[in-house]
Amino acid sequence: MRVKTGALAMTLLVACSACGGSTRSPTDVVRDWSAALGAYDNVRAASLFAPNAAIVQGDSLLRLQTERQAVAWNARLPCTGKITSLKQNGSAVEATFSLHAGRNRSCRDPAGAEAIAVIVVEHGKIVLWDQIGSQIRLSH
């Protein structure tokens, strides 16, 4: 029975990978994106976005229709951030980042600033990046 179960599991794994499924969790993709951004690897960061991914910042909606647009959008982000919190609900991840300047990034946010985004990942690619808030934490 064990052999049949193992063979069935292997068959399903191969079938799912052929369909474009991803075994990486949405939180893994968010961590990968954040690491690429922190390394100023905009090409790698862009590769994590699906074609036609939606970017929402305030009242602005942008569609990244091509990888070139995704590279440019990632390159324009003024800050990099250290992930301080990840909360996953299905394919959506609420990510909180502690913002700071990085190599070739000119972050103007004060020390302690945080940004919060909901990032939706489907089949290992970001389909929605929605900045839902920001805040400044003051230390006493």
The pLDDT of 5-25, averaged and rounded, is 48
DSSP state of 24: S
Tell me the one-letter amino acid at 32.
D
Per cent of the chain over pLDDT 90 is 62
Least confident of 7-11, 51-55, 92-96: 7-11
CATH numbers and ranges of domains, the chain? 22-136 (3.10.450.50)
User: Using CA of residue 25, residue 29, residue 35, residue 39, what is the dihedral sign?
Assistant: positive
Predicted model pTM? 0.79
Are the beta carbons of 97 and 34 closer than 8 angstroms?
yes
Give tens-digit pLDDT for 53-82: 999 998 999 999 999 999 999 999 988 889
